[in-house]
Chains A and B, each alone.
Chain A
């Protein structure tokens, strides 16, 4: 382990105050011995940097998919006091409300096995990759709808069912959205991109439920062994990227005004209650809503394709849940034994609210919030549930994915996209991507093993395993 980091439990490590100057609280992260071997110094330094931010509560936290990013590490969580704390785009990232959703279908593996045309048709219908434009006609009015009402706008516009909304984190919209804080540039980028997947690690996968760990929870979530599902991973597209870029610049200026000095410029921030902090939060919430509408539009396309190809009804493909994994939220948590509203930043981390939380669907109140954790291309994804332990220890947060271990440069040198696709085909997984590099970049072994990552969150208890899903068809962005 990196010098200066202390082991405090089987899967727990602490970065003591003093690791770098100015730390207000310790850093704390959750990793198994095996995962600890791949931890980069850059990620530890970033977690320590977060601990220097004004108003941070208890710990700067790292989930087991922690890795080197910019600003916060990826897998980073930080909660801040509303009175003296700050809000930072560095704790959210450029892709605001990048997130994941899972739909189930009444189909079994045998119904779709070898169905290359399903993957081809989805690839044709869902715009992916650089320069992809939406087939939906975006307008300034529809953009306002997306930013103000999120998934609800999409459902009201015919892209889903009212039930979809109760199966989204925050019912698919943050009420704090302030479209006045979204620049004209961001709006221009947002209008033509509704319903597009994007590129990089974004994907759309056809999966099969291959293992159930928690039968009552799986039943409550509507998941059965052998069932075909669809997972969608994307975010707020150019709109969110521009909002982050615009507000980073504004907050950089505000740092001087509020006499805040931090070790990384990407952590540019302002007091939560300041005009600059409020403007960022309002624009971020509008972008988060856009992302929920975007995932809802893609869901609609998937349902249309599956419905036509297999003769199944729209309502027979319900949403299990939709989670955000790049976002800042005002939430109520216990701080020093008192219920307190705080600002939780999750950068590559997923909300995992436990049983009894008022913010989860009432019919799942005894079970906890569904948590969707995508694996890397070709490896398993997981459904988990939120826990009381997450509420106590991580401000109701858990990991968001497998977490990369290998750079893109290394990945491309090692194996071509063609070879990766051939290997996956051999395992019965069909892959479609706009180009070969996109496949090489995201090869399964450039990520930490997803089973190891979810194993840690399960053992620590910050979420509990419900089901495993194996991919059979992948569309890479």
Chain B
């Protein structure tokens, strides 16, 4: 798991690094979940997801936006995700639980995932992306 919050005046900007693209996606997902719900999250309830997009950045953005939608509408909080990307198609199994106000109100709502400055780069250490959550 590798993500760190970078300085951004108004919003939450996360830098994600991972050895593979699949792990980059699941770490970005973890960064999002921690921002919204805090650290105290556990698993048990599984949810499957399939997303298709025109490029890798959009795939990441659509994936995280879909997760925000599921959490809000189904009242779920996820602890981790198993993500597989093949080209511009993503399949994921999310592991989580029902929202519990006494444990999951430690974060802040993310209104949306921004395209601003989002570019996935790859070097010898693996993949990296900076991603902005509007809070």
Contacts and interface: CB of A to CB of B under 8 A. Distances in A.
Task: Categorize the interface residue count of chain A.
Answer: 35 or more
Interface in B55-95: 58, 62, 65, 68-69, 72-73, 75
A131 interface: yes
Nearest to A242: B69
A441 B11 CA distance: 11
A435 B105 contact: yes
Interface string B102-134: 001111110111111110000000000000101
Interface string A244-262: 1100110010000000000
A69 interface: yes
Greatest chain A CB density within 10 A among B12, B38, B111, B113 is at: B111
Contact of A409 (B5, B113, B132, B134): B5
Interface string A132-152: 000000000000000000000
B112 A407 contact: no
B72 to A, nearest CB: 5
A67 B10 contact: yes
A68 B9 contact: yes
B109 A70 contact: no
A437 interface: yes
Contacts of A277: none
Nearest to B135: A200
Given A67-B9, A94-B111, A266-B114, A185 B62 contact: no
Given A94-B134, A131-B104, A189-B73, A74 B10 contact: yes
Contact of B101 (A131, A248, A408): A131
Contact of B118 (A42, A265, A405, A435): A265
B41 to A, nearest CB: 12
A209 to B, nearest CB: 29
A405 B106 CA distance: 23
A130 B8 contact: no
A352 B100 CA distance: 42
A271 interface: no
Contacts of A357: none
Interface of A: 40, 42, 67-71, 74, 93-95, 129-131, 185, 188-189, 198-200, 238, 240-242, 244-245, 248-249, 252, 264-266, 268, 404-410, 434-435, 437-438, 441
